[in-house]
A and B are shown apart, each in its own frame.
Chain A
Amino acid sequence: MTVTHKSGTVVRGDTFGFGQMFPEGLRVLVVDDDNTCLKLLEALLRKCKYHVTLTNQAVEALRMLRDPNHVFDLILSDVHMPDMDGFKLLEIVGLEMDLPVIMMSGNSDTKMVMKGITHGACDYLVKPIRREELQNIWQHVIRRKSEKQSRKVNTEMAGQGTQESSQARGDDDRNVACNRKRKEQNNEEEDDGDDNMQETEDTATQKRPRVVWSPELHRKFVTAVNQLGIDRAVPKKILDLMDVEEITRENVASHLQKYRLYLKRISLQQTNSQAILAGAPGMIQDNSHIRLGPMDGFGDFGFAGSRSLLNTDPSLLSFAPSGMLGRLNSTANLCFSGLTPGMVQRNHAQNKSSIHLPSVLPAGQDVGILQGVPTALEPQRLPQNTGIAKPGEFNLLGEQRFFTDNLPNSRVSIGSLSNTTESQQQRQENQSSCNMASLNPDPFLIGVNNSNTSDAGRINENWDRTGVLSNFPLNSSSLDLPFNHSQLPPKIPNFPFDLSSGSGLSAPVENSRGNMQLQSGLIGNMLQNTSYVPKQEEHNQDYAENSHAIFSDRSSLVSGSSSIDPFGQSFKQMDPMHGQGMDISLIGQLNGGGVSLGQQSEEDKPVVSTQVPSKGDYFLNQMMADGGFVASDAGSLEDLITDFQRFRGAVRNWRWYCFGILGGVRNC
């Protein structure tokens, strides 16, 4: 497809080889199968003065990346692509080229975000992507370069380079993980007091250089620990098993301590998710289903460790009760023996008094929040766990996990968290924005909540209104009225829904009942109740005349052809096609009327004696007046469907109209 390549001439200067104008001239490669987004991103990135290359095929992107003539600094890749999975591309790039990759998706599902991060993405953006988000992407490039540099320095010093808190983990493919680890480090240092760094410093008063725990090293470590059993793993034995020269017993000891804390944190998450799902203290006993197995298999923790941690999350979410309580017990004890003081310490230290359940959201991505969870929840949960002491903490994490899972909004916070340095502030904001959704475990609603919080706000409004609307006496009698009016007007030109010919009125009338019910459910979501009642009597009349007025108005303004006139033409053509049965999509017809109605509500045009299917009008009113159609709750989805079925056949020529439009559209 279209591949536009802009060769960049970057002035080599300071800062990691970038010119003075940095971040201008950043060479970005965008991979997305959606051409709309591709074009949009191109414009956005150009506005940021980056050099942009586009492709809608992942294979083409790889080819360009492997081509030595093409140099890129950063890659933006979509997640869902037909020829190659975005995550796969991500991994390949990480392995072969080691460039920062930012994932994009229309989907803000937490699982996907998690997957992106665990596969090594620097960031995960949700469409629509805003300009501000793109203006910051250069930081990922700098961060990676600086990590590479320090890692190089470390290796140059024979594996004993200076260990900065951020580079300590030596895995520059896991930027986010590094950041998280850094935060975690900081938190631990602040709160625990028993700082690993300090310990190493204390023992290394001789100024021994820090050891860099590379993934291979850590893997060996974990293997050794597992071999010995987490209970009996002592630094000396681990060191022997590992058989690595450059590390000392003290290094191993501090690393082991961190590992244990990490494992504990994992299990906390499990308990939380499970407890939240349970929603009741009684369910705490079902801790059994939480499989702590995955924790043993953590290949790498901390740095790359976040990856494995998150990889196991799906398993954490299996809420099938089973008789694994005993196993839980053992593993719990295994992991938690001796860790309580540390944890409690941390909890107290992290006393976020403002924490309440829904607020622990963006937890998966931020250790700080994870630690904060136990504070609020622990006291409530623990007392109910008689048999198992520690699983109280499990519950907390279980809740947390549940929310992270069910609140896609959390991903928004994650992205922005990694993008900016405001941590607490943003978390709070995002938490509060998620609160609303978190109170409703309904999947449909949550799915809807995927959209921005403004939509969520509307959902709440609509809930209120649903109550109002359902009380509205929409019985067919009131509907019949307009239909039976002898003043059924003559056909109004340009008016699509003209049933004035009188044919088939009985059918619509019959269905009107269903229609109104449809509307009560459907419109419950889009309702503006104030305008609703009065419109019932007047709408018929207002409708056609307004549409007519609008149309003629427009045609006077716009000389020659406007899209409305052909529109009107097709309307007229539709008229002969009575009796075709209605299809709800025919609200297409409402397009024309919709314009007028919308304006009517704004401008209060006088009532006209025109006939219009009242239901159509209502529907129109609701749709036009309130916009966002689908913000609804799960309950109303069922209503929606039944109502849709009834609505069918109510207005006949709607279907033809829509087909006409679609045909026209498809021919465009």
Chain B
Amino acid sequence: KTGLPLWLLGLGVDRLRADMSRLLALLFHQGVLDEQFLQLQQLQDESCPNFVSKVVNIYFHESEKLLRNLRGLLSDGEFSDYKKMGIHLNQFMGSSSSIGAKRVRNVCVAFRAASEQNNRAGCLRALELLEHEYCYLKNKLHEFFQIEQQRVLAAGVRYRIQN
């Protein structure tokens, strides 16, 4: 019970869709996402209705693990295992590029370069940046999915009303 009459809810569909498009356009413009994300969307259809959000949620789950690991490695004063960091980074890069998270991936590239040079300070900076970029991406994608949910809901309402 949202307090709105059902028929009004249904009318929000177009506006919500417009919101989603605008948000996506913004993210593309900012370089946060790239066309790989579109590929993800194309894979979503009736047989996999929530594909994008499923994949993205898996990505979030894995990424946070990776970020924690990276943070843990770098917090250690005795840290010297750049190789391990490289492994984590490789995975992060692979999954980020598969999602279309361009900026996150770019930071990973810089991070990896710093780790290959055994540059601890650089790694720290890069990690901070990475966390930031990841946070931003996550928030934006959460927002995106929320609008999507509402749109689906509203579309369902509209359909029911029309019939």
State whether A563 touches B59 (Cβ < 8 A): no
Proximity string of chain B (115-145) to chain A, C-beta cutoff 8 Å, 1 when within and 0 when not: 0100101100101110111111011101100
Asked whether any CB of chain A lies closer than 8 Å to the CB of B6, the reply is: no
The answer to whether A628 touches B68 (Cβ under 8 A) is: no
The answer to whether residues A448 and B132 also contact, given A33-B91, A47-B43, A559-B4 and a CB cut-off of 8 A, is no
A585–B131 contact, CB under 8 A?
A: yes
A455–B98 CA distance with the chains assembled, in angstroms: 16
A472 at the interface (CB under 8 A from B): no
- B74 is an interface residue with CB less than 8 A from chain A: no
Chain A interfacial residues counted at CB < 8 A: 71
B107 touches A629 (CB 8 A): yes
Residue with the highest number of chain B CB atoms closer than 10 Å, among A35, A39, A107, A624: A39
A588 x B136 contact (CB < 8 A):
yes
Give 1 or 0 for each of A65-90: 1 = CB within 8 Å of chain B CB. Answer: 00000000000001010100000000
The CA-CA distance from A448 to B111 in the complex, in Å, is 10
Given the known inter-chain contacts A128-B100, A564-B143, please indicate yes or no for A624 contacting B30, CB distance below 8 A: yes
Please tell me if the beta carbons of A627 and B58 are within 8 angstroms of each other in the complex: no
A window 289-321: CB within 8 A of B: none
Instruction: Choose among A37, A43, A80, A595 the residue that contacts B43 (Cβ–Cβ < 8 A).
Output: A43
B147 engages A558 (CB within 8 Å): yes
A261 at the interface (CB under 8 A from B): no
B135/A35 in contact, CB under 8 A:
no
CA distance A560 to B146 in the complex (A): 11
- Residue among A80, A129, A624, A627 with the highest chain B CB neighbour number at 10 A: A627
CA distance A559 to B12 in the complex (A): 10
Q: Looking at the assembled complex, report how far the CB atom of A105 sits from the nearest CB atom of chain B, in whole angstroms.
A: 7
Q: B32 at interface (Cβ–Cβ under 8 A)?
A: yes
- Interface residues of B toward A: which range? 35 or more
B31 interface contact, C-beta 8 A: yes
Least CB separation from A589: chain B residue = B132
- Residues B4 and A128 in contact, CB atoms below 8 Å apart: no
Q: Which chain A positions have C-beta within 8 A of B135?
A: 588, 591, 658, 661-662, 665
**B47–chain A nearest beta-carbon distance, Å:** 8
Interface residues of A in 34-57 (CB under 8 A from B): 34-37, 39-40, 43-44, 47
Query: Which residues of B lie under 8 Å from residue A641 when comparing CB positions?
Result: 119, 121-122, 125
Which residue on chain A has the smallest CB distance to residue B56?
A36
The yes or no answer to A17 lying at the interface (CB within 8 A) is no
CB < 8 Å: which of B94, B131, B136 contacts A105? Answer: B94
In whole Å, how far is B141's beta carbon from the nearest beta carbon of chain A? Answer: 9
- Chain B contacts with A in 24-48, Cβ cutoff 8 A: 26, 29-32, 36, 39-40, 43, 48
Q: Is residue A171 contacting chain B, with contact meaning CB distance below 8 A? A: no
> How many Å lie between the Cα of A623 and that of B2 in the bound state?
37
Q: B113 and A36: CB pair below 8 A?
A: no
Of chain B, the residue at the smallest CB distance from A40 is: B98
Task: Please measure, in the bound complex, the distance between the C-alpha atom of A585 and the C-alpha atom of B93, giving whole angstroms.
Answer: 19
Tell me, yes or no, whether B114 is within 8 Å of chain A by CB. Answer: yes
Residues in chain B near residue A208, CB distance under 8 A: none
Known: A562-B143, A627-B31. A587 touches B90 (CB 8 A): no
Within 8 A of B (CB), among A615-668: 623-632, 637, 640-641, 644-645, 658, 661-662, 665-666, 668
Q: Give CA–CA (A584, B143) in the complex, Å.
A: 24
Known contacts A40-B98, A127-B98, A627-B29; 16 additional CB pairs below 8 A are A36-B95, A37-B98, A447-B109, A447-B113, A447-B116, A558-B16, A563-B139, A584-B129, A588-B135, A637-B110, A637-B113, A640-B125, A658-B135, A662-B135, A665-B64, A666-B64
Interface CB pairs A-B, < 8 A, 5: A447-B112, A563-B139, A585-B132, A641-B122, A668-B138
Going nearest first, the 8 A-B pairs with the smallest beta carbon separation are: A627-B31, A106-B94, A585-B128, A36-B95, A630-B110, A585-B132, A563-B143, A630-B106
Chain B residues in the interface with A (C-beta under 8 A): 2-4, 12, 15-16, 19, 26, 29-32, 36, 39-40, 43, 48, 51, 54-55, 58-62, 64, 68, 87, 90-91, 93-95, 97-100, 102-103, 105-107, 109-110, 112-114, 116, 119, 121-122, 125, 127-129, 131-136, 138-140, 142-143, 146-147, 150
